[in-house]
Structure 1
């Protein structure tokens, strides 16, 4: 049996119940703890260095806290690193910190932030950064920070480059505070990038006309394969809500007298698939008044003896609708089949509503 050095996080005495121990086994750091009457041995895959021990201690504290708060992940997936690569080699010393791997730091930073981030943020924003680092960047070490910045500026839009550099800087700030590196080579780089006024995502407005809107709704109703989604498409056009908010609606969110809708949750993409989360993108909830047309639409699709938890717009299988899939198939197919109608993204249903309520009398109709 190989000899093992052992350290109990927060104590040198015998570990109490719920305490995670850090051991070295075969020159690799290992987390050892008991839960549910079972002994767990979780290998980090990291060599026993000063920097890696700090990361192991942080992971141990996370496990201890989850056990204490009855939030322990019995699958252990929450506590495993996203990358199977070794974070720092056994030869790591402060003198070569400038050559630390950005990919490794980002993995560790993601694990640190995981409990405070929504599933959609992890799956979309943080995974995009992960792919940018591991798939696209030609260099990945911190001593090449300037080359990384130049590559981003040359290959990304100003807005994307600015966002990515902001994330890199935040990651390295965390690494400095965690004593993994001495300096942040990306500090202030993002502030030097000027984003053109019309380049921001929120300014990407290309609404449909009233006639185009009505043609799209009618085309969905007549389409042999996608008429099932016609009520959802009409709902998006006449409420202007975000697609993620529409598919998250349950009948309990609609007043029984069909006077108001409460938007208070959204379906997002997480690492485990589609997830319904409480709250909206910019607020906790929003009350929307129901006009005669909207009331008629909702009444026409409401099942008899419907339960409050039932989805207003379920998938054909009764699950949450995958709006990304619907947009790429049904929406694209139907809109592109219409002569004289320029193809625009599904999200433009929201901008169409906003534009029409400002330019026509429909705003009055919505509120009455």
Structure 2
């Protein structure tokens, strides 16, 4: 392979030749697209002979720019494939990336979680459709360049990752001969914490203040049992929202479904985030709460924690309205409702409950508890001293 950078620094406004993963491409002046960097994949390997051809193409584009004949759609400069038919032997035409993606989505949709379908496959479809690059397999490098130039680093990384998985599937099913995204350089992004790793629990005093804050709030007291339940069980909000009375016995609660956001709004999903189901023991504190809110002669199919209108609680609306209003009124540092889970786990660990018991009851792993809660518990114990 030859140099990954142009052989010499190009004058301002010129078209330069560069190498990417062993393939040549042309870098256009930023001035042509209001500061946005554009590149053209020319479909040639990085060899001395092809460098000469690439330089010739670069000079042709520069001439078009000078004479006002430049084609901003870049179609004029895309490599043209010439097919030669020899008697009865016909070259098999491989499907486009768009066609492969459509087939891949059809296969994935029946077994895909609603949230993943909405925030993953549908979002990537929109990005792929608005990419102006020709969607042939030999234009994968140009799609990569477009993603980096036009999407956030994380979204660009996800798009290329999805397309790589799509083409791996296509190779496995002999739809294409090779995966053009296989050896592309990973797109680096900053690591952001997710809800399971962003551990910043409330203190016991803050927990009690929040519960009382909901009880006494004129507009949001309906949610007080829901909030108390989250603090008392450490379950995920989506699991509590999906809970029905048929899941509650005298001695335990069965978590086996959750309510998630999908293309069609809120939907009920069988199974949990990391497991099919789990049981949670009912202690005295939790029993009193459930007895207090259980309706007389109610249906076992009824929700344990319905919204004010009787349906599922929309956790996003709850967080942005009720939760935020109560937290702000108490002067407590704002943290998301998911921190109720971290609060329960941290407090149980501080009380000396075995990590294996906590992990089993909360649907997490012992490793996660060791990694994300040990330091927090030490801070709690030090503070108590």
After TM superposition, the score normalised by the length of structure 2 is 0.60
Equivalent residue number for residue 109 of structure 1 = 104
Question: Secondary structure of the equivalent of 2:222?
Answer: helix
Q: Please give the root-mean-square deviation of Cα atoms over the aligned residues, in Å.
A: 3.3
Distance 1:133 1:355, change over 3 A: farther
CA contact (8 A) 2:153 2:187 kept: no
CA contact (8 A) 1:205 1:348 kept: yes
- Does residue 357 of structure 2 align to residue 353 of structure 1? no
Match of 1:273 among 265, 274, 278: 265
Match of 1:260 among 252, 267, 273: 252
CA contact (8 A) 2:153 2:188 kept: no
| Number of positions where the alignment pairs a residue of Structure 1 with one of Structure 2 | 267
Equivalent residue number for residue 9 of structure 1 = none
Structure 2: 5+ residue stretches without partners: 1-80, 84-90, 362-385
Equivalent residue number for residue 20 of structure 1 = none
The one-character-per-residue Cα deviations of 1:234-253 (angstroms, maximum 9, x if unpaired) are 11111110111101111111
Distance 1:121 1:234, change over 3 A: same
Distance 1:288 1:324, change over 3 A: same
CA contact (8 A) 1:248 1:266 kept: yes
CA contact (8 A) 1:139 1:148 kept: yes
The one-character-per-residue Cα deviations of 1:206-259 (angstroms, maximum 9, x if unpaired) are 22222222222222222222111111111111111011110111111111x3x2
Distance 1:188 1:357, change over 3 A: farther
CA contact (8 A) 1:206 1:351 kept: yes
Question: Secondary structure of the equivalent of 1:336?
Answer: helix
After TM superposition, the score normalised by the length of structure 1 is 0.62
- Does residue 257 of structure 2 align to residue 285 of structure 1? no
Shift of 1:126: 1.9
CA contact (8 A) 2:323 2:337 kept: yes
Question: Secondary structure of the equivalent of 2:259?
Answer: strand
Question: Secondary structure of the equivalent of 2:313?
Answer: coil
Equivalent residue number for residue 334 of structure 2 = 343
Equivalent residue number for residue 230 of structure 2 = 236
Question: Secondary structure of the equivalent of 1:288?
Answer: strand
Give 1:1-368 correspondences, 5 Å limit.
100-102=96-98, 104-134=99-129, 139=133, 141=135, 142-149=137-144, 155-156=151-152, 162-177=157-172, 180-189=175-184, 192=186, 199=193, 202-255=196-249, 257=250, 259-339=251-331, 341-360=332-351
Name the larger-Rg structure.
2
CA contact (8 A) 1:133 1:140 kept: no
The one-character-per-residue Cα deviations of 1:40-60 (angstroms, maximum 9, x if unpaired) are xxxxxxxxxxxxxxxxxxxxx
Shift of 1:193: 5.2
CA distance in 2, matches of 1:286, 1:140: 48
Distance 1:101 1:162, change over 3 A: closer
Shift of 1:333: 2.5
Distance 1:355 1:122, change over 3 A: same
Question: Secondary structure of the equivalent of 1:276?
Answer: strand
Distance 1:121 1:140, change over 3 A: farther
CA distance in 1, matches of 2:204, 2:180: 51
CA contact (8 A) 1:356 1:362 kept: no
CA contact (8 A) 1:101 1:140 kept: no
The one-character-per-residue Cα deviations of 1:321-341 (angstroms, maximum 9, x if unpaired) are 2222222222223223332x2
Equivalent residue number for residue 22 of structure 2 = none
Question: Secondary structure of the equivalent of 2:333?
Answer: coil
CA contact (8 A) 1:217 1:234 kept: yes
CA contact (8 A) 1:253 1:261 kept: yes
Question: Secondary structure of the equivalent of 1:315?
Answer: coil
